[in-house]
Every structure is written in C-alpha cells, then in structure tokens.
Structure 1
C-alpha cells in the first residue's frame, strides 16, 4: 500500500492518510536532476511533485496519473506552480510517449511509486479495501473490466493464478474454488462479500494482516495490469533519460521489487555468467549505474508516523551514455500470468 499524497499523518494509532513515503530519500536520490525536467509517473496527491518543485526554482515536473480524481484534485497545484508543472491523465507505462511529446530532449529524472494510493484505498466507493463495504471495482482509471467482472467471469484456474502469482496467496486454489461455487448462487458485487469468503479459507493470524490482504492485492494488480505498466515504464525511462539522469522507484511488495531489482541489475551489467554449456556473447555496455547499495527502507521514525510505509523499498540508478537495450524478457515473464492461463484467455 502506498502513500503518494501529501498532508499530515493521523494521530497515533489512527490512519496515516496521504503521506508521501520515503519523501526525503526520493528528493535526495533526484538531487542531481534538480533544475531539469523530472517525470513523476505516479502523481497521487502530488507529494513527490510538490517536494521536487520546492527543492529547486528551475525544476520542471511532468506528472502522470491514470486516476481522473487525482487529475481533478491536482488542478490547484498545477495553477500554483505554473508553468513548471504539467499534469497528464495517463498510465505511467505511457511515460515514454508523453516524454517524447513534452520533453523531446530527454528527462533528467523519473520517479515511480508503485501500487494503490492512500486516497484510493481510503475511499470505500473505489472498491480497493476489504475493510469497508463498497462495490468490488478496483479500477484506478474507472475504465475496463472491474474486479467484480474478473471474480464472476474468470475460470477457476485463472483466478487461482491471479491470487497466487500476483498476490502470493498460498491458499489460492481453495479460494478460487470457493469463489466459483459461491458465484453460481449469487454473483459477487461488494468488497465485503469477497473478503468474507476469503476469510473462510485463510486463517487469521494474531496481529497479522487481514486474511483477504493477498487476494485483494492480486486482484487489484490484475485489474490494473500494474506489473505490465511497471515493466513498460522501466523500459521507457531507460530510453528517455539523459546521461546522468536518475531513475528512482519505490515498491511495496516483493514481486514489484523483484522486477525493479532484476531490471536495474541487468542494465548495470550485473548478470549471471554463462556456462560452458550455454556460453554468453559479448554483453552490451551497461546503460545504468546503481545509485543505491541494496534497497533503501523507511526509518523507524517514518514507520511510527506512517505505518503504511512498512513494506516500502527504494531503488535508484543513474543513466549512462550507452544506448538503451532491448526489452528484458526476464521481467516481462515476471509481470505475466503463467503461460497456460494466457493461452486459455486467448481462446
């Protein structure tokens, strides 16, 4: 869960709404980009964007968000920072297309904060939360198939793969079977309907996450193609960053972080050596240099102020002058459902 917006944390023990995660660390990682053009691929409520604009009077930010509510709410910020801020309604996987239109000379920095925003999570009518009654929706953009469409129409194997691959839910098959049996009687329409069913198959641990946490996560990622968007954004950032530009990514669960870690390592030339059975050819010149030694995680003080930051990890890299490389198949595989599911979907 992310906190991409800005504003104050709630009282002790209360919700931490709209708090940008690892804000100081993000701004520090992009310090070399100050005074240039930075693309914020996940605007939310503008927490990163505002801080980057305040850090240097010559910085220009192009911010993207697929959520029309975030775009509307950001109008006042655009006006207050005109003409240094442009806000575009689109997916962050489209960052290369947008950058070629508004910054054809290239970008000095790119920042991505992956996942659902605090505003989306806290608005029951958006259908992201298993803790509040709301329509089973989960669409960030409000368009395309909803979570209810998938739950009510996908076959059992597809549902199990979504929950296991995207949500890392070990009870995925039992949950999928239970959904298929239950929907024959009554279609799923609300978040609480699904959360209550999942709780029948996943044991609640004392002081642990809600039993439906991983199922909802997997379903949300599938609805919004979040991992596919991440893969496209990473490749787009590599192509659009100028030499010396910075790429900064904040992730909130292991599969997202694994994709970012593998991409940065491959582009930095840190790939596994070939064997005598499978020799490797001349490797391409690294296009990125790692700017962090492993992931940067929130401090104890930040965790106390914003519990939603607990799983956040920041990784950063600097663009070198070598050409951008071909798309990395390994991370495209990580972002996709198993082959048998994709084949079934095409029939």
Structure 2
C-alpha cells in the first residue's frame, strides 16, 4: 500500500494512510484532530466516518480556518490542543474514539516569510503559531537572560556551543540585530559551528519551541489522553524531533510522564491505561520520501486505551 499523501497546497500531510489505519476509525465514532492545519488528515477521517460520526478539529493558527470543509460533522475550535479536555467538556463530549496530533510547523507556516519560522526567507523574527500570543522570538531574544538562553539552545536545539552563543547574544544584542530573520542570522554568524544551515535550523527550532511552549503543550496533551479516550480508542501522534518522540514513546509505554523508580520492598499499584500498538515508530516509505522531503524526520506512534480489571 502506498503511503503517499493526497496533495494539498497548504500542507502535505505526512504518513497519511498509516495514520488513518492506526486510528482504526469506526464510522459512528468521535475523533479529534489536534493540529488541523491544511485539513489533510481531517479530510481522511471524514471520508471514513458515517453520517453519525463527528470530528473535532483544533488549531491555534487563524490561517487554518480557511481550510475548514463545509461538513456538518466537523466542529472547529480555534485553540491550542493543550485545552483539549476543557473544550470537549464545553461541548458535552465525555469521551472520544481517537486523537490525532501532527506536531511541529506546517509547510504553509514555513513558507510564509512574514511568520519568521524559516531560515530560507527574510521577515520579522516572530515565530508565533498563535498570533494572539504576546511573546515573539525577537522579544525573547531581547529580554531573556544568558542562563535562560543557554537552557533553550541546549535543551531544545541541542546547539553545540549553546553557552558561547547565549553569552554572545546577551553581550552584543541590539534591536537592529534581532528584528528580522536575516539580521539575526548575520548577527550570530560568527558563532556558527559546522554547516551553517544546520546550525541556524537548530537555533530556530529552539526559539520556536520556547515561543510556542511546544513541549509543555505536548506534555499537557499527553496527560489528558487517557481521560478523554473511550475504551478501545486510539491516540496517533506524529513527531518531528527526538525531544517530542521521546516524550510520546515514554508516555505511551508507561501511561504517565513521571515514572516511579522500582523499589525492592514495594509494589506499585499503578497500571498503565494504554497499550502500545506501534512497537517501533512508523516512518515514511520511499515513495513518500520522494514526494515530500518533510516526511524524512516524521515518526508516528499509536497507543490504545485498554480496560483495566478494576474498572
């Protein structure tokens, strides 16, 4: 079976067929697309749903609203997926049969220079996925301390010389250096180690993760998944870097983010409500890699809500 996704101008959904298969969609079920974007995965879900099925779509980026199909079965919520459970309850939905999240930045966001996500285009150093948010990448670089910048570059970008870079920025920063993508790249160019494009990509990833609180939002989503899934419901999450994938892998395996150390004299009473469906992450097949370069770093993991004996 080919894994090539349907073509959409806004965003080419990665691992399209594999994700829909992983969700094991029932025609009458209720499903959530946490990252609607161009609506590619959502359209696939709608095609598999019957007239009584429902799709709840989240996206904090206002640009995504132009892609909402005219379909009475879809409810669009213009919010970050970290508020999943809150908005399900507001809409009187107690449990759903599937949750999908395609993390990271959409092709549309990368290709819009004025959004500031890409190192390929010049534009304001913004990086906000939700333009209602107050903090931009420029403001972050202007205001954060050397220690805070060190933490961001080291933890979120795995930048090799994070300490030196943080010190350089704080010592030499001016508004002119930090206003645009090109100005910032020229400003930090003396700090570049190795391949410049790879280095800039790591720095931009780190800034973007912090501006949008991406890992915190993912943590909050994961913690809500067992509570919103019906028995037999599935969660399918696509990640694009190791920080996200590690969080998803560990949560699906253990059913929680904080894992207790084994104690030789105590037995833990906690049992994970999730069963891992994908023993190894699903990655793009050769035909998809040829059609969509962005799919090269995509990893899909799927877990299922199981019934515990005491329930």
The TM-score normalised by the length of structure 2 is 0.90
After superposition, residues 16-165 of structure 1 pair within 5 angstroms as: 18-58=11-51, 59-71=53-65, 73-75=66-68, 77=69, 79=70, 81=71, 83-142=72-131, 143-165=133-155
Provide the rounded CA distance (Å) in 2 between the counterparts of 1:144 and 1:280: 47
Provide the rounded CA distance (Å) in 1 between the counterparts of 2:43 and 2:114: 27
Q: 1:111 to 1:307 in 2, by over 3 A?
A: same
1:211 alignment partner, SS class? helix
- Superposed CA deviations along residues 199-248 of structure 1, whole A, max 9, x for unmatched, are 3222343xx84320111001000000001110111111211110000001
1:110 alignment partner, SS class? strand
Kept in 1: contact 2:81–2:217 (CA 8 A)? yes
Provide the rounded CA distance (Å) in 1 between the counterparts of 2:25 and 2:92: 18
Q: Which consecutive residues of structure 2, in runs of 5 or more, have no partner in the other structure?
A: none
1:139 alignment partner, SS class? coil
Q: 1:119 to 1:103 in 2, by over 3 A?
A: farther
Provide the rounded CA distance (Å) in 1 between the counterparts of 2:23 and 2:92: 17
Provide the rounded CA distance (Å) in 2 between the counterparts of 1:297 and 1:152: 38
1:226 equivalenced with 2:220 (yes/no): no
Kept in 1: contact 2:176–2:183 (CA 8 A)? no
Greater Cα offset, 168-177 or 119-128: 168-177
- Superposed CA deviations along residues 143-181 of structure 1, whole A, max 9, x for unmatched, are 221000000111111111111111111211121122123
1:283 equivalenced with 2:269 (yes/no): yes
1:195 alignment partner, SS class? helix
Tell me which of 171, 177, 181 is aligned to 1:191.
181
Q: Which residue pairs with 2:294 in the alignment?
A: 308
Q: Which runs of 4 or more aligned residues in structure 1 lie more than 4 Å from their structure 2 counterparts after TM superposition?
A: none
Kept in 1: contact 2:177–2:187 (CA 8 A)? no
Q: Which consecutive residues of structure 1, in runs of 5 or more, have no partner in the other structure?
A: 10-16, 324-347
User: CA offset at residue 322 of structure 1?
Assistant: 3.5
1:167 equivalenced with 2:153 (yes/no): no
Kept in 1: contact 2:99–2:234 (CA 8 A)? yes
2:235 alignment partner, SS class? strand
User: CA offset at residue 294 of structure 1?
Assistant: 1.4
Q: Which residue pairs with 1:319 in the alignment?
A: 305
2:272 alignment partner, SS class? coil
Kept in 1: contact 2:32–2:98 (CA 8 A)? yes
User: CA offset at residue 299 of structure 1?
Assistant: 0.6
Provide the rounded CA distance (Å) in 1 between the counterparts of 2:6 and 2:11: 5
Kept in 1: contact 2:177–2:184 (CA 8 A)? no
Kept in 2: contact 1:34–1:52 (CA 8 A)? no
2:198 alignment partner, SS class? coil
- Superposed CA deviations along residues 247-289 of structure 1, whole A, max 9, x for unmatched, are 0100000000011111111119xx686243xx54333222011
**Please, what is the CA RMSD of the aligned residues?**
2.2
Kept in 2: contact 1:65–1:90 (CA 8 A)? yes
Equivalent residue pairs, number: 302
1:244 alignment partner, SS class? strand
Provide the rounded CA distance (Å) in 1 between the counterparts of 2:47 and 2:93: 24
The TM-score normalised by the length of structure 1 is 0.81
Provide the rounded CA distance (Å) in 1 between the counterparts of 2:126 and 2:78: 20
- Superposed CA deviations along residues 185-209 of structure 1, whole A, max 9, x for unmatched, are 845100112223333222343xx84
